Amino acid sequence: MEVHVIGAGLAGLAAACRLAELGHAVILSEAAPQAGGRARSYLDRRLGCRIDNGNHLLLSGNRAALGFLRRVGAESSLTGPAAPVFPFRDLASGAAWSLRLNSGRLPWWIFSPRRRVPGTRPRDYLALARLRRAGVDDRVAALIGDAGPLYARLLEPLAIAALNTLPAEASAQPLGAVVRETLEKGGHAALPRWAALGLSESFVDPALAWLRARGAEIRLGERVTELRPGQPAILAVPPWAAKELMPELTVPDAFESICNLHFKARLDPGEAGFYGLLGGMAEWVFPRGEVVSVTISAANRYLALSPEEIAARVWAELVRGFGLDAALPPARVLWEKRATFACTPAQLRRRPGPRSPRPGIALAGDWTDTGLPATIEGAIRSGEAAVMALLGGGPALAK
């Protein structure tokens, strides 16, 4: 069968690869001149080097993402520490510590004061069990915000990073799914991982080469403006674009931004290769060769600040946290205004499954109902689920 995959972000690439693997003819159309969507690398002229649009952190329990990389021969393109270690610095107190999980399923790290979050007691970690039972209407802050230093020093930053929504508003249910698939499985499933060279080098270029080698037709710079009746298709575009092409869909319609800052500077990567920062605007710091990259999630709260203001404030935090030179180096501020849908109960209810109301057309994208927040893992799973929905048929799909 010939299938048209519309959108070459990670959901569309995953769908195209699965279709090609199953022997189907694939036409992949992407509106932008390059593939990758919200996960891409580019040459930044101001900094004079290649950077990613945003730091993307995975965990080793992201089985679909790792499976996708394995399929396209790019599994070894990820890097990260050999052990599940998460170093933190608190800008307010100057304290520095590392969370050190143990590899196995039994979480004995919780009973070791040298491994768990400082200031916490083993019983505080029962908050993780509450997350497991979270319903869609349970908000993160209301459900686990009483966990004291464990919340302030680990669960809150984790929730903001994973959900890209402030915990007072965010639904705890997708966070529970993340914890179940990573932390709860043991440290071997919570190893931090990221693209060693760049997102495109890991996730995009190898997938395009793999598809081309299997005869897929890849059309970059081709925006699809209508769905052709009778042509099996997977719609793997962002929710607003899906709504334009299929107005009868209900899709998430509220979004959160992510601000990434890239400074031309060097910082010791330490034993883990990244740092969590507390008590400031900067949340995660990735020293990558000649560039130090910083992530601020749920960044709508800072939209009133200019890029210059935010760069100056974040650099001042890095100076304070790591003793860097005070002079502001060349910087690039990349603000993805619609980085993900807002992970609130109301928005979660607007996520459709992979079956669309139209026969022969399936839906993919991190915004479809994967049970996970809008992440690489969710995007890749959604692409694969869309293939199953398309090929498996069902009430809404033509045979």
Residue with tokens 């890991």: 202
Taking CB under 6 A as the binding criterion, the range among 1-9, 69-77, 310-318, 352-360 that sits at the site for ligand FAD is 1-9
The answer to whether the beta carbons of residues 194 and 78 sit under 8 Å apart is yes
227 binding ligand FAD? (CB under 6 A): no
C-alpha 165/C-alpha 174 separation (Å) is: 12
C-alpha 70/C-alpha 381 separation (Å) is: 14
314 binding ligand FAD? (CB under 6 A): no
Q: Using CB under 6 A, which residues numbered 233 to 252 contact ligand FAD?
A: 236-238, 241
Minimum CB separation from ligand FAD for residue 27, in Å? 11
Q: Pinpoint the alpha helices (H) of the chain.
A: 10-21, 63-71, 127-132, 140-144, 148-150, 156-163, 173-181, 199, 205-213, 239-245, 307-322, 345-348, 376-392
In the complex with ligand FAD, the residue whose CB is nearer, 58 or 177, is 58
376 binding ligand FAD? (CB under 6 A): yes
Task: Out of 366, 370, 384, 389, name the contact with ligand FAD by CB under 6 A.
Answer: 366
Amino acid at 395: P
Q: What is the maximal distance between C-alpha atoms in the chain?
A: 64
Taking CB under 6 A as the binding criterion, the range among 33-41, 70-78, 172-180, 268-276 that sits at the site for ligand FAD is 33-41
Taking CB under 6 A as the binding criterion, the range among 5-13, 41-49, 123-131, 352-360 that sits at the site for ligand FAD is 5-13
Taking CB under 6 A as the binding criterion, the range among 114-122, 152-160, 182-190, 230-238 that sits at the site for ligand FAD is 230-238
Phi, psi at 48, each rounded to 5° = 70, 30
Total residues contacting ligand FAD (rule CB under 6 A)? 37
Residues 187-216: x where in contact with ligand FAD by CB under 6 A, - otherwise, as a string: ------------------------------
In the complex with ligand FAD, the residue whose CB is nearer, 124 or 366, is 366
Residues 40-69: x where in contact with ligand FAD by CB under 6 A, - otherwise, as a string: -------------xx-xxx-----------
Amino acid at 345: P
What angle (nearest 5°) sits at the alpha carbon of residue 393, between those of residues 390 and 398? 90
Residues 6+ apart with CB under 8 A from 278: 88, 89, 90, 91, 92, 152, 153, 157
Taking CB under 6 A as the binding criterion, the range among 37-45, 78-86, 180-188, 247-255 that sits at the site for ligand FAD is 37-45
Lay out the sheet containing 291-296: strands in order across. Answer: 96-100, 85-90, 275-278, 284-288, 291-296, 255-264, 331-341
C-alpha 261/C-alpha 267 separation (Å) is: 14
Task: Out of 28, 195, 207, 374, name the contact with ligand FAD by CB under 6 A.
Answer: 374
Q: What is the DSSP string of 318-370?
A: HHHHH---SSPPPEEEEEEEEEEE--SHHHHTT---SB-SSTTEEE-STTSS-
Minimum CB separation from ligand FAD for residue 12, in Å? 6
283 binding ligand FAD? (CB under 6 A): no
Minimum CB separation from ligand FAD for residue 399, in Å? 26
In the complex with ligand FAD, the residue whose CB is nearer, 137 or 336, is 336
C-alpha 279/C-alpha 168 separation (Å) is: 17
C-alpha 218/C-alpha 64 separation (Å) is: 23
Supply 206's token pair: 């190898």
336 binding ligand FAD? (CB under 6 A): yes
Taking CB under 6 A as the binding criterion, the range among 10-18, 116-124, 269-277, 349-357 that sits at the site for ligand FAD is 10-18
Interface residues toward ligand FAD, by CB under 6 A: 6-12, 29-32, 37-39, 53-54, 56-58, 223-224, 236-238, 241, 258, 260, 336, 339-340, 365-366, 374-377, 379
